[in-house]
Amino acid sequence: MKIFNTMTRRKEEFVPLEEGRVRMYVCGPTVYNLIHIGNARPMIVFDTFRRYLMHKGYDVVYVSNFTDVDDKIIKAAIEEGVSAQEIAERYIAECKKDMEGMNVMPATVHPLATMEIDGMIEMIGKLIDDGFAYERGGTVYFRTRKFRQYGKLSWKNLDELRSGFREIKVTGEEEKEAPLDFVLWKPKKEGEPFWPSPWSDGRPGWHIECSVMAKRYLGDTIDIHAGGEDLIFPHHENEIAQSECANGVPFARYWMHNGFLTIDKVKMSKSLGNFTQVRDIAKHYDLMVLRLFMLSAHYRSPLNYSADLLESAKSSLSRIARCVERLRDLAARPEGAASEGDAALLAECPSFTEKFDEKMDDDNNTADALAVVFDLVRYANMNVSEENAPAVADAYLKTLMELLDVLGIRLPEKEELPGEEIEAMIAERQAARRAKDFARADAIRNELLAKGIILQDTREGVKWSRA
């Protein structure tokens, strides 16, 4: 199995620290609102990679945090007139609902930053004692110039970064020794949550949180650290600096980062009004459609979200579901005599798992792995029939379900639409066709097809039947 390592910028053979066991840390969301599709992408792609590691026989210790103390959380709390803890607890619960809808497995541990303050104070104290950090007026900063490898993940040159920064003259940071020094601890402000420390009553900086949580639950050196591409600098770069200075060993052996996500080819932004939350999508689609869409591109590639692409993913999911239902029906028949081609079909079935594994072994290539799934669907539809023994259908069904499980794709329950609702949708489709709104007409046909309703346009009108 090969992984593209952001640190080295090349694919490397994956060899875990401990045979048969993988320690993996994935940066989780800051919980001040409902999660958006930008949060959803790393959740889905790294959950899928975790599932694949398990499929390969690894014991995976998977840690993904919730940042539950942050300026945005405090701002939301002030606006609502409630505590920051109430905001965080509310949106952690809502995030877990969306994760369940996307079939994202719960982490082995979901640590909360506020529960790890003692460990953060301990690590900051060690960094000060060893000369890697300093205190000014209750604020503690990390000395980036003391870590000679600073910039090794992002491939940024420290001297160039320094020269590119203007002298920082903002409240609380005028005492910094150098512009690139970052905050490990900061004093409280009026109305903010705080914890006592040797330097001030205050709270930790963002970067130190993940270093401490990874160390506590996974050890000083971990196998894989993952997150969005936007976290490479400064967040992950700063994690490496403080972790390696505090622990004296490499922080993570492999770094995985998913690419950016745009909406209709425009960067997602609240100011542009294109900020799409997972909960909004769930109002119109089973969230397995969103998961399938996310996996349809390589995780390192940029991904563009649009309504048309989501509709396409919905049709693809329906195609898989119809194949599964068909194979179930064929497999449920009474045992009969084997046909002449059964042996060849049974011999061919394992090749799909082999091809799937080959694609996933190449840096978690879910796009090509999904293509293998659709090859299997196409092959089964064309070659497995009532002429074959039920055992043949059962073998293809089990293989297909196994591959879907690795991808985390959970098929929706089959819906039985009442006849009057079907007739109403057909009438709407006919009206759309008369208005030359063929996109809407096609969407209605696809929606009915996804629910097992097949339309046939005849001279006598539209006839429908259940699949």
Main-chain phi, psi angles of 298, to 5 degrees: -65, 140
Give me the pLDDT at residue 431, please.
Answer: 92
Per-residue model confidence as pLDDT tens digits over 373-400: 999 999 999 999 999 999 999 999 999 9
pLDDT of residue 377: 98
Between 219 and 270, residue with greater pLDDT: 219
pTM of the model: 0.87
Task: Report the pLDDT value the prediction gives residue 64, as an integer from 0 to 100.
Answer: 98
Residue 256 has pLDDT above 50, yes or no: yes
Higher pLDDT, 403 or 166: 403
What's the longest Cα–Cα distance across the chain?
Answer: 86
Cβ-contact 239, 210 below 8 angstroms: yes
For residue 174, name the pLDDT band (cuts at 50, 70, 90).
low
- 362 φψ region: left (φ > 0), alpha (ψ -120 to 50), beta (else): beta
Q: What is the mean pLDDT of the chain?
A: 93
pLDDT at 9 over 60: yes
Q: What pLDDT does residue 275 have?
A: 77
Copy the structure tokens of residue 194: 């705080």
Q: Does 266 or 214 have the greater pLDDT score?
A: 214
Read off the DSSP letter of residue 146: G
Rounded Cα–Cα distance for residues 203 and 188 (Å): 7
CATH of 2-258 given 3.40.50.720, 3.40.50.620, 2.40.50.140, 3.40.50.2300: 3.40.50.620
CATH domain 307-407 topology: Four Helix Bundle (Hemerythrin (Met), subunit A) (1.20.120)
Mean pLDDT of 250-278: 87
Per-position DSSP letters for 94-145, written without gaps between them: HHHHHHHHTTPPPPSB--BGGG-HHHHHHHHHHHHHTTSEEEETTEEEE-GG
pLDDT given for residue 170 in this prediction: 42
Domain boundaries along the sequence of the chain: 2-258, 307-407, 419-466
